[in-house]
Structure 1
Amino acid sequence: MPKEIDVLVLGGAGVDTIVHVPELPLPYADSYMIDQGIRTRAGQTGDFVALGLTALGLRTHHLDFLGDDPEGDLVRALHDQHGIALTAVPQPLGTKRAVNLVGPDGRRLSLYDTSRAHPADRFPEDTLRLLAGASRHAHVSLTQPCADALPVLRETGVTLSTDLHDWDGENPYHASFAYAADIVFLSAAALTDPEATMRRIADRGRARIVVATAGAAGARLLADGELTHVPAAVPPAPVVDSNGAGDAFAAAFLYGRLGGEPPLRCAEFGAKAGAYACTIPATESAAATRDALH
């Protein structure tokens, strides 16, 4: 039977408050004047992956917990605006939120509010199985309760990807995602030996493809045991913010993969989409299109 959904995105829905600061790290001071304003907008990792996939023409469905609050309304409005299907499980503790400090060079520091979830939170299993069964692929965010969804997803037979972000290679919470996914994305920022970590993921888990991104230094691609360096793409405009670049990379890579492209071509798509994302101000929501990639 044909699948109704190209990619099911689990978790990572929320809002960010963006603060442009004069430098990072930010030296202590009693106060700072923020000339560019302090703005709250919808969009965390799952939202941005879903946005990137949709901009590339993939049928995308996002599943996560949302509160009945103004922040949840912002997330719902973002999905409505871009035509992204959303299944929102009620979260009495409220919608996830974070504060992003963005430096002049586009680097960011994120402060996550971890009070918007409960350890006992679980996706309704019937809903999870129904959506996974209708999907060609599922991309799983690190946010709780996605870890508990991994065994159910594997039972449905859907292929999985995940983004470990700045994993240090040791944290066991991230490891459960790393070893369950067929495609693993991560940042090399906190890794002393990225290649060793990538090969460990492939050796101990299911992944046939592991990608470690390194910003302007490009990315490492491990596919079927072969390691390749993927150069960074030239941004089409001045770099203003790196927020969402990794999510854009993952979305474009999955677009290529689901279209039958070889891993290197998928990584080149990811590099282009990531570079484009760095030219978009953090207060805006936009993603690379098919025309931009091709």
Structure 2
Amino acid sequence: MSETRYDVIAIGNAIVDIMAPSDDATIERLSLNKGGMTLVDADGARRLYEAMGPAREISGGSAANTLAGLAALGAQCAFIGQVADDQFGRVFAHDIRAGGIAFDTPAREAEPPTAQCLIFVTPDAQRTMNTFLGASQFLPAAALDEAAIAAAKVLYLEGYLWDPEEPRAAMRRAIDAARSAGREVAFTLSEVFVIDRHGDDFRSLIADGLIDVLFANHTELAALTGESELEAGLAALQDKVPTLVVTCGAEGAVALKGGERAQVPSVATTIVDTTGAGDLFASGFLYGHVNGEPLERCLQRGAICAAEIISHYGARPEANLKALMTEQLG
């Protein structure tokens, strides 16, 4: 096994989130999928941007958000993702590097522009995401740093990026590189629509033993397994995935690993915006995981990170996560 340089290296969408408060009437008028994520084209992104009220621009992307939380906790991280050589691309690169995360993927010169996610946040804290994947869906396998992948304890992949063909091929190659180096592969299912489109691929990866840590929420677990009840879904995967982590919103989270089961409640907080809750839960869990902590402690760290992120707008932590861990876990 090669020398370890990173705790986690992730491949994901390089996106700039554009967030604005909204109301249900606007969601209905624009025919948006409230609380979900919908892919839009460049024209759709422009139309929605024009319909937004005053907005905040914050670097995002599921796997990048997870790394931001991990880095804030003290983990050594690297990101692989495609931006364009434009203003949003420079914003994304600055933000992720400023967080202490290595990011060396060359910017793409051609169209389309850097990916954007237009997020309408309603007073009930639900986020309605409309994603223009832009340059992120053109990540080539040639952009992979296989030596860096081999030098990371965990390769973390986001399901969202499985949709476009070019990055899907890159992620398959990255899985091969990680497995060849004896490293773990973690995967987040991301969204039900991704499972609807690529569930057979995901089930094949699981059946072939290529996923060591699987993250899902309870609805994604149901979509993947065909089991609507949580316990039946867990039972369907418990012998197929070495570590299975399922979040259940306000009901907390459960994890299964090697015959062990752990469960924790959610951490009480004032909910402002649920964007990034699953991403930051993965931050906390993976931090514990790469440091060899007990399963329950990994879940507790995830719950603390998720509670911090939903207490404010945006999917990047604002509070000191290390201090929160010390305060709540001792």
Please say whether Structure 1 and Structure 2 have the same fold, judged by a TM-score greater than 0.5: yes
Matched, 1:217 2:251: yes
Matched, 1:52 2:104: no
Matched residue pairs, number? 287
The letter of the residue matching 2:10 is V
2:187 corresponds in structure 1 to 162
1:293 corresponds in structure 2 to 325
Which of 310, 313, 316 pairs up with 1:278? 310
Matched residues in 1 for 2:278 and 2:103: separation? 22
Distance 1:117 1:81, change over 3 A: closer
Would you say the 8 A contact 2:13–2:137 is kept in 1?
A: no
Matched, 1:108 2:127: yes
Which of 192, 211, 216 pairs up with 1:186? 216
Distance 1:97 1:83, change over 3 A: same
Which of 200, 206, 211 pairs up with 1:172? 200
Distance 1:116 1:76, change over 3 A: closer
Q: Tell me whether 208-217 or 187-196 shows the greater mean CA deviation.
A: 187-196
* 1:131-181 superposed Cα distances (whole Å, 9 cap, x missing partner): 112212221122141542323322222111111123376622444565522
The letter of the residue matching 2:219 is A
Which of 124, 129, 139 pairs up with 2:142? 124
Distance 1:193 1:261, change over 3 A: same
Q: Which runs of 5+ in 1 are unaligned?
A: none
Which of 93, 117, 127 pairs up with 1:98? 117
Distance 1:34 1:115, change over 3 A: closer
SS in 1 for 2:314: coil
* 1:45-94 superposed Cα distances (whole Å, 9 cap, x missing partner): 12211110110001111111111111111111102322221122433333
Higher helix share: 2
Matched residues in 2 for 1:50 and 1:262: separation? 21
Matched, 1:43 2:57: no
Distance 1:90 1:194, change over 3 A: farther
Matched, 1:68 2:85: yes
2:266 corresponds in structure 1 to 232
The letter of the residue matching 1:256 is G
Matched residues in 1 for 2:185 and 2:272: separation? 31
Shift of residue 244 of structure 1? 1.1
Matched residues in 1 for 2:30 and 2:185: separation? 45
The letter of the residue matching 1:158 is R
TM-score (norm 1): 0.86
Matched, 1:137 2:164: no
Q: Tell me whether 52-61 or 169-178 shows the greater mean CA deviation.
A: 169-178
SS in 2 for 1:101: strand
Would you say the 8 A contact 1:66–1:95 is kept in 2?
A: yes
Q: Tell me whether 137-146 or 239-248 shows the greater mean CA deviation.
A: 137-146
1:12 corresponds in structure 2 to 13
Q: Tell me whether 133-142 or 269-278 shows the greater mean CA deviation.
A: 133-142
Matched residues in 2 for 1:283 and 1:221: separation? 23
Q: Tell me whether 266-275 or 194-203 shows the greater mean CA deviation.
A: 194-203
Would you say the 8 A contact 1:167–1:187 is kept in 2?
A: no
Q: Which runs of 5+ in 2 are unaligned?
A: 32-47, 223-227
Matched residues in 2 for 1:99 and 1:251: separation? 23
